[in-house]
Every structure is written in structure tokens, then in C-alpha cells.
Amino acid sequence: MLSDYLGEFSHCFHCHLCTVADWHKLDRWLPICPTFAYYGFESFSAAGRVEIARALVEGEIDDVTPRIAQIIFSCTGCGACFEQCNELTGFKANHTKIFEDLKENLVERGHALPKHIGFAKSIEENHNPYYEPHEARFEWLEEGLTKDEGVVYFAGCTSSYREQQIAKTTVRSLDAADIPFRVLGEDEWCCGSPLLRTGQRDKAKETAKHNVEAIKKTGAKTIITSCAGCYRMIKSDYPKLLGLRRLGFDVVHSSQFFASLIDEGKVKFDDKIDMTSTYHDPCHIGRHMGVYGEPVYDEPRKVLEEIGVKIVEMPRNRENAWCCGSGGGVKSAFPDFALWTAGERVKEAESVGVDTIVTSCPFCVRNLTDAVEEFGKPFKVYDLSEILSEALK
């Protein structure tokens, strides 16, 4: 509940350090809050949203106007404000959680955005936010690759319906590494992340309960996902939503899984890939998991370096990474803003002299690719799984 944060609200003194990256030498790449950089008003910064949250709790705001709804729901939930504030001030609040609860407060007041209501209905009816038939979820899967044992690969909606090359290359890599795995088939539903990130907690809880039960029925002890959003949702949010101390199975991102295989000497690359690229850190496996002391920054880079990829870092990387712009329900409700945010990231990649971006999230791949196409940039955007699969051939 928002009222739980009332003490934290009074500690924010509007210093605006939450809007800039933690290195002032970054110059052109100093901004870190996408909405503040795009819209320009304080209300679109973390400080502004904290003030709105306080006013809602204390009754200073009775009527939620469309403008207030825009301010709250345009937040991508990237967590950059938390990272800066936690590092540089004594505020120590979990902004990501506060703003998710703020969105939930607006939903409870009847101010959910039409686009968010729409994909929630699709998740309820089709178990995915893309209005696609549920039975088509695993049409991408090649016959003969899965077994009725081993780890479970949780593909996620975006890889299943929009960026299928990521799901295909992930399972090919598992097969090439002689890892027995299975999928949930029609028992896999949307992880619920789009629901929780847009304040629709009760609906997210329903899909979480189903997926946990489906996974437990398989007897699998390890769940692999190549989607950053699915990873955070299942590993971090499911236990909280369902009141569980433990899920009963481990959840690992595909980059972590393959980095472990490399460390154990179970995967080797005889033919290196001659490639220079930059790496984009997805918010959900980076900053979001950093809140709990488990950020996934090193593993994707380790895999790429073992493959032979030379990584040229962008000025804003790791905990200071600029969001791709698609999270928090923003790509559906505010597509122009989402595209602009991704375009800024592509420009940053361009500034370090590369023409390739690698990331570890299908939603990041999708939005960055949309920006490349929209702004006519000669860039290629890949998921880590695609590069890994090529190296394992």
C-alpha cells in the first residue's frame, strides 16, 4: 500500500540526482531517467512521482486527471532512479516498488489505461498479451529437441510470438550442449510481468499461481528463461505474490546457465566469432535484481567474451545503463516515447563506433530493433542466444 511509504516520501528533498547517471563526465549521456529527459517536467521524474504519491495518500489529490495518469503510467520502471538515489543520498527507498504500487493505486481508483486493460484481457483469454491464440505458443519449436525430463525452458510470450529466433536459438544451444530439457507446452502462461508492472496485481497473481503449479508438476528443479522480464517475475515476484518462502525450484537466466557451463568446462568454443559489439543491460536482470543483491551483469559479458566477441562498453552501462524504453507497459501505451528512448540508446551505441548491439531480453531486442528501423540506423540488434547458438554450431 502507498501509505506504507509515507515516511520515505517525506525524506525526498528533490535534489534530482535520480535523473542523472553516476558519472558527471558522461556529458551527452548524463541523463538516466527517460521520462524526465523526454517530457522535461519535474512531475515526470522520481521526485515528482513521489510527491504525487504523497498527495494521494494524504488526500491532497482527490481527482486523478488524465495528465496524472500519464505521469504515473509513463514510468518504464527501469529502476535507474533507485540506483542513483540509493548510491548518492540517504533516501534508500525502493523506487521501483513504490511506483509499481502507485500504478496499482490508480488501477484501484479506476484509472487503468485502455491499452493495459486490453492486454490484460488478452492474457486472461489467450494467456499472452499479444492477442495471439494460446495453442500457437510453441509453433516455433522444432520436433525432437525436447525430452520429458531435465530442466524446464520457460520461453515467455515475446520469444514465443514476436522474437521467435530467441526461443529457437536458446533451445538449439541447450541441445548442442547436451542439456536435457522440456517445455511446459500449453501449460505455459504469460509470466504476468506486464500485469504487475502496470498495477494489475490480482491478475498477475492468478497467472503466477498457475505457472508455479505447472512447473511443480514436471518435477523440474531448474527453470531457464531467456527473457529478462520472466526471470525477474518468476524468481523475485512469484514468492511475494504467492506468500511463499521458496518456490521449490531454481530460476536462472540463460546467460547465467551458459556462463556456469563455461566455468565447469562443459561448453567450449573451438571456432571463435570475430565480432565487435556493445552490450545493452536489460533493467529486469540488472538493476531490478540488484535490489536483492543478485544483478546479472557479468555473465552475459563472460559468455560473449568466451565466444570471441570484443565488447565496447557504452558510457552508460551496468547499473547506469539507459533503459530500452519498452518496460512498464510503456511500449503499448506510449509508443512514441518508447521509440524515442530506444533511439537514444542506439545513438549511444553509435557513439562508441560499433554497428551491433547485443542484449539478453527479447523485449529489449524488439524495441531497439524498432528504433533502428524507424530512424534508419545501419545497426543490427541481437539477443545473446543468437550469438551463442552460432558459436555452438
Which region among 1-5, 128-132, 283-287 has the lowest average model confidence (pLDDT)? Answer: 1-5
Instruction: Tell me the pairing of strands 222-225 and 250-253.
Output: parallel
User: Model confidence over 329-355: pLDDT tens digits?
Assistant: 999 999 999 999 999 999 999 999 999
pLDDT for the residue 143:
87
Beta pairing partners, 278? 357
275-391 has which fold? Answer: Rossmann fold (3.40.50)
Confidence of residue 92 (pLDDT cuts 50, 70, 90): confident
Which region among 175-184, 214-223, 263-272, 321-330 has the lowest average model confidence (pLDDT)? Answer: 263-272
Q: How many helices (H) and strands (E) does the chain have?
A: 20, 8
Q: Is the pLDDT of residue 312 over 80?
A: yes
Q: Is the pLDDT of residue 100 over 80?
A: yes
pLDDT for the residue 304:
98
Angle at 197 between CA 194 and CA 202, to 5 degrees: 80
pLDDT for the residue 24:
59
CA-nearest of 255, 251, 323, 253 to 287 is: 323
User: What 3-state class would DSSP assign to 218?
Assistant: helix
Q: Is the dihedral of CA 149, 159, 327, 306 positive or negative?
A: positive
All residues at 6 or more sequence positions from 216 whose CB lies less than 8 Å from its CB, including other chains: 248, 249
pLDDT for the residue 271:
83
Q: Is the pLDDT of residue 365 over 70?
A: yes
User: Model confidence over 32-70: pLDDT tens digits?
Assistant: 999 999 999 999 999 999 999 999 999 999 899 999 999
Cell of 34: 527517460
Judge whether 156 and 137 are in contact, CB under 8 Å: no
Single-letter code of the amino acid located at 342: A
Confidence of residue 144 (pLDDT cuts 50, 70, 90): confident
pLDDT for the residue 176:
93
Q: Is the pLDDT of residue 89 over 90?
A: no
The percentage of the chain sitting over the pLDDT mark of 90, rounded to a whole number, equals 86
CA-nearest of 377, 370, 291 to 336 is: 370
The percentage of the chain sitting over the pLDDT mark of 70, rounded to a whole number, equals 99
Average of per-residue pLDDT across 151-158: 98
pLDDT for the residue 25:
66
Distance (Å, whole) CA 55 – CA 53: 5
CA-nearest of 315, 318, 266, 309 to 290 is: 318
Average of per-residue pLDDT across 152-160: 99
DSSP 69: H
Pick 2-111's CATH classification: 1.10.390, 3.90.1150, 1.10.1060, 1.10.357: 1.10.1060
Average pLDDT of the chain, as a whole number: 95
CA-nearest of 288, 321, 302 to 384 is: 302
pLDDT for the residue 26:
64
Judge whether 270 and 305 are in contact, CB under 8 Å: no
Judge whether 283 and 363 are in contact, CB under 8 Å: no
pLDDT for the residue 270:
82
pLDDT for the residue 174:
96
Judge whether 40 and 59 are in contact, CB under 8 Å: no
pLDDT for the residue 11:
83
| Max CA separation in the chain (angstroms) | 65
Average of per-residue pLDDT across 289-301: 93
Q: Are domains 125-263 and 275-391 of this chain identical in fold?
A: yes
Q: Is the pLDDT of residue 180 over 90?
A: yes
Judge whether 191 and 204 are in contact, CB under 8 Å: no
125-263 has which fold? Answer: Rossmann fold (3.40.50)
Average of per-residue pLDDT across 209-232: 98
pLDDT for the residue 385:
98
Residue ranges of domains in the chain: 2-111, 125-263, 275-391
Judge whether 151 and 181 are in contact, CB under 8 Å: yes
